Amino acid sequence: MITYDQARQLGKTYVGALNTGPDSYAALFAEGAQVRVDGADADLAGVLATTPPGRSAFRRARLEPPAVVLTVRVRDRAAESVDDREHRLVLDDAGHITRLEA
């Protein structure tokens, strides 16, 4: 079971990978991971479209076993707005994401 401190560190790593780009982000996932965005099946590109690299920030983490729920803040400077999006992750024993609901 992951601790709260580990969940916070995961959140920072997760958002760092989001902001770095597709290859860094994909490295966090187990092969065959299930990905859903806004309730529909998706791929990692779909996640990156809703939480664009360079515009995402880690806001908070919470534990809802078996998931870790990260709040990712997406900034839109042109519209002068922010959108907090929850990313619900389930991890395997190696710490790779096996399921993501964003």
- All structural domains of the chain, each given as residue ranges with its CATH number in brackets, are 4-101 (3.10.450.50)
- What number is the average pLDDT over the span 25-38? 97
Query: Residue 78 pLDDT > 80, yes or no?
Result: no
User: CA–CA separation, 5 vs 55, rounded Å?
Assistant: 24
Q: Which of 39, 91, 42 is nearest to 64 (CA)?
A: 91
pLDDT at 83 (0 to 100): 92
User: CA–CA separation, 13 vs 25, rounded Å?
Assistant: 9
- What number is the average pLDDT over the span 17-34? 96
Please give the mean pLDDT across all residues of the chain: 94
Give the pLDDT band of residue 44 (cuts 50, 70, 90). Answer: very high
